[in-house]
Structure 1
Amino acid sequence: MPSRLARKNRFVLGIFLAVATLVAGCNKLPSDGPLTREIIEESATGDFVLISMTDAISQALMSDGERGFGPVVAPASAGLPQNRIAVGDVLGVRILEAGTNGPFAGGGGLGHADFPKVLVESDGTISLPYVGTIRALGRKPRDIEQDIVERLAGSAIEPQAVVGVVESASNIVTVAGDAGRPGPLPLTLRPTRLAEVIAAAGGSRYPAYDTRVTLVRDGRRGSLNLMEVMESPSHNPLVQRGDMVVLAHEPRSFTINGAVGRGGVFPFETARMTLLDALGRAGGLSDMRADPKGVFVFRFEPVAKLKRLGVPNLARFENDPRGVPTVYMIDMQQVRSRFFAQSFYVQSGDAIYVSNSETVQTQKLLTLFDLSIGTGASLVGAGADIAGAL
């Protein structure tokens, strides 16, 4: 039969083993996300593409930004408003003559007649009293004036004619969607830019930074945020007859979490936002927690874009409608990475994550170990008392 001392020693040893098991079982400490090395290691599975930011990648991303209206607006001259008459146009015609004996004679020796709304019929012609039917389709107003004068040469005294387009059925652009006053808008012969058309339609019913502008022309389309259209001349193209402009409410936001001052979901509130701006919105990297080498941006990228960046082995993502799961990694410990962060533009839906430093996990373990030792010491003391009573 074991002695009283042996029983006491066994009890204390059991307490220590229980405490040791508790500490050893904490091999996965609580965390709000993976460590930098864990993300790098997991990228080897090929489930996502990890791109480390370099000078070459930064420059390629800057040149491969949102294409906007580029594919739509070239060439721009083909569909500019033109001074030619189309079916459905409404013309204003004034005929004048000198003398008092002609068909348009009036008092004071001068006669005139006004025809304020002359419709161009479906066959491309117009009809006027004493003039008859004149072909108007595809011709300029001065050509019609000359025809009228020639037709009246035998009946009117020194006739003259003035023809203008009152309403144009061809020189229009249509504004649809979340505009203040959607509908067709006539274009003048003066070149008109996209921002002017949007303003003439009452602007957007939502803030400009939350409005998407889509320009549709000849089956092609391009889109940009309205703020960019307003602020950048290169994104404010000339509109053409037949264009459709669609305004859509598109609130944009990004998520940021991890070792930052204040994580959460943030609205853009500007046309464009850089990674450095986004980190600033979240209070920057936490001095006590953050791993400056582990700043990550998660997004889905088009396969074609990653191919332009020189990323290989993308075949498995070719048919994924979401695109390629892509993680950009920026080492903010390097001075030049600050410049990368100033030129890297955040997109709506991006998830920005700042990894904890490895030392934070160590501190958690030490804290837990210290707590466990304290608890174990208390248990040992209590066990000794119990064993002493045995």
Structure 2
Amino acid sequence: MKINVRMCPPHFNSAHGGKTSVADVGEGGRFIVSHGYAGTVGVLAAMVSLLSGCALAPGSYMGVPPGNAVEGQASGEQGVTELVRDGVTYRLHLLDGEMVARLSSQPAAGVQGGLRLPAAAAVTYRVRSGDVLRVVVWDRPELNNPGFSSLGTSIVSVGATESTNSPIASAGGGSLDPIGRVVQPDGSIYFPYVGKVKVAGQTIDAIRRDLTMRLDKVVSNPQLDVSIVSYRSQKVYVSGAVRAPGSIALTDTPEMVADAISGAGGYNDAADLEGATLNRAGTVYPLDLYALFYGGDLSQNVLLKDGDVVNVPDRRYKKVFVLGEVAKPVSQIMPKGRFSLSEALADAGGLNQLSANAAQVYVFRKGADKSVDVFQLDATSPGMLVLGDQFSLQSRDVVFVDAAHVTRFYRVVSQILPFASSLYLGAEAFK
């Protein structure tokens, strides 16, 4: 075995006071050995091995196959170690106050690369095919309410001695409805003395002016009113974890996201409010309903348009996994809102007092551009647990607690490899 040793940059030694070297193994396999920085070395070797699909047993030889080169290097960021293998970059970060503050200032990963929600703008309702209009001309009853155009009456008995006149609806053509005039597929309605009138795409005020001008030629100074009695042409849709998913008709009253959720009966207990989306014309925008309903963030209360789809996903797949030397390893559904590293450890029963190494608490997180981020927390002091409470977990994070007095990386590999490789650290996750 040929071994060539070189020293890493000084800032890697300052964190733990040890020395780090890199050695070549076999025909080209390279691995990192550490003196004083066992946790960092262990997790980096574990991450490198995750893509190989091999199972490693404790021993003195890592067993990296020839031809699968592993390179350890210092990044430009202090306290960060990088490994690159098969085009995938693994980055190890030491959690401190500065790192937590930096992560807290970054927006959560969106479903479409952080697309911004479309800006809301006031709009006036425009009539479309399928809407039902009512046109009233004062002092000209024969022109009013086309569904009762014949103005025929019948006697309806009320009790033993009373009676009242009730109009009888009569067929008045294909555009007539018992309560108004239906806008036809070509966007028009028929009106007596006027004929066919194009109304689609116009506002109510514009339709009123047009009909008044046309009717003025046959009726002296017509007093005319137009209203929409049934909104049928424009809809938005609410799907997912709401009590009554379905469509909601748009009216002349602006429909906001909060209105649509309320119209669908509200969200249910399984709703993932932070993972909601708005689909508009095929573009999917991230929609944070938790910030809207619990934080008062009105920027999330977007004005909806015809065809918009608001989806509230189920929290069933929004999980974190706590493994290793904890009292009760768990696969836990994240609650609504923020979920911290300290909460996850507490829900797993805390660290195993006999076997856990509190200095080696890791969080595995899939990064962008074929990368994996691993965050290491030294939880040996209560102050660091407070820091862990400021570190927010994300969906599908894997929390791993290493064993006490283990100075080699083999246990980390053997513990996390079978689970993490099948979860999201395998090669398929980066295609």
Same fold (TM over 0.5): yes
**Alpha-carbon shift at residue 284 of structure 1 (Å):** 2.6
Equivalent in the alignment of 1:246 = 311
Equivalent in the alignment of 1:161 = 224
Question: How far, CA to CA, are the matches of 1:54 and 1:359 in structure 2?
Answer: 23
* Alignment partner of 1:255 is 2:321: yes
Question: How far, CA to CA, are the matches of 1:249 and 1:85 in structure 2?
Answer: 36
Greater helix share, structure number = 1
Question: How far, CA to CA, are the matches of 2:125 and 2:273 in structure 1?
Answer: 37
Deviations 1:295-351 (A, max 9, x none): 111121222xxxxxxxxxxxxx3xxxxxx2321112224676445423322122221
Relative contact order (C-alpha < 8 Å, sep 6+): which is higher?
1
Note closer, same or farther for the CA distance 1:282–1:94 as it changes in structure 2 (3 Å cut). same
**Alpha-carbon shift at residue 41 of structure 1 (Å):** 5.9
Equivalent of residue 39 in structure 2, options 30, 36, 41: 36
Question: How far, CA to CA, are the matches of 1:96 and 1:41 in structure 2?
Answer: 83
Equivalent in the alignment of 1:25 = none
In 1, are the aligned partners of 2:135 and 2:227 still within 8 Å (CA)? yes
Equivalent in the alignment of 1:214 = 277
Show the 5 A alignment for 1:278-357.
Answer: 278-303=344-369, 317=370, 324-333=371-380, 337-357=384-404
Letter in structure 2 aligned against 1:215: L
Question: How far, CA to CA, are the matches of 2:137 and 2:231 in structure 1?
Answer: 21
Letter in structure 1 aligned against 2:265: G
**Alpha-carbon shift at residue 273 of structure 1 (Å):** 0.7
Question: How far, CA to CA, are the matches of 2:109 and 2:120 in structure 1?
Answer: 16
Question: How far, CA to CA, are the matches of 2:356 and 2:319 in structure 1?
Answer: 23
Note closer, same or farther for the CA distance 1:125–1:205 as it changes in structure 2 (3 Å cut). same
Question: How far, CA to CA, are the matches of 1:232 and 1:39 in structure 2?
Answer: 40
The alignment's C-alpha RMSD in Å is: 3.6
Show the 5 A alignment for 1:1-390.
Answer: 36=39, 38-40=41-43, 42=45, 44=72, 46=84, 48-68=90-110, 71-77=115-121, 81-97=123-139, 116-156=179-219, 158-168=221-231, 171-204=234-267, 207-209=270-272, 212-223=275-286, 227-234=290-297, 236-241=300-305, 242-251=307-316, 252-303=318-369, 317=370, 324-333=371-380, 337-358=384-405
Structure number, greater radius of gyration: 1
**Alpha-carbon shift at residue 255 of structure 1 (Å):** 1.6
SS of corresponding position for 2:396: coil
Note closer, same or farther for the CA distance 1:103–1:191 as it changes in structure 2 (3 Å cut). closer
Deviations 1:335-380 (A, max 9, x none): 764454233221222211122221899xxxxxxxxxxxxxxxxxxx
Letter in structure 2 aligned against 1:76: A
In 2, are the aligned partners of 1:289 and 1:360 still within 8 Å (CA)? no
In 1, are the aligned partners of 2:271 and 2:312 still within 8 Å (CA)? no
In 2, are the aligned partners of 1:81 and 1:240 still within 8 Å (CA)? no
Deviations 1:30-67 (A, max 9, x none): xxxxx725525626454532122244432332232325
The TM-score with structure 1 as length reference comes to 0.64
**Alpha-carbon shift at residue 216 of structure 1 (Å):** 0.5
In 1, are the aligned partners of 2:40 and 2:92 still within 8 Å (CA)? no
Question: How far, CA to CA, are the matches of 1:273 and 1:292 in structure 2?
Answer: 20
Question: How far, CA to CA, are the matches of 1:342 and 1:189 in structure 2?
Answer: 47
In 1, are the aligned partners of 2:117 and 2:287 still within 8 Å (CA)? no
Question: How far, CA to CA, are the matches of 1:273 and 1:103 in structure 2?
Answer: 65
Which runs of 5 or more structure 2 residues have no equivalent in the other structure? 1-37, 48-71, 73-82, 152-168, 170-175, 409-431
**Alpha-carbon shift at residue 185 of structure 1 (Å):** 0.9
Identity %: 26
**Alpha-carbon shift at residue 159 of structure 1 (Å):** 2.6
Question: How far, CA to CA, are the matches of 2:308 and 2:246 in structure 1?
Answer: 12
Letter in structure 2 aligned against 1:325: V
Deviations 1:236-286 (A, max 9, x none): 322321311223334022221233333222222333311121122123334
Give the length in aligned residue pairs.
299
Equivalent in the alignment of 1:386 = none
Note closer, same or farther for the CA distance 1:176–1:37 as it changes in structure 2 (3 Å cut). closer
In 2, are the aligned partners of 1:180 and 1:204 still within 8 Å (CA)? yes
The TM-score with structure 2 as length reference comes to 0.59
| Of 139-148 and 234-243, the range deviating more from structure 2 | 234-243
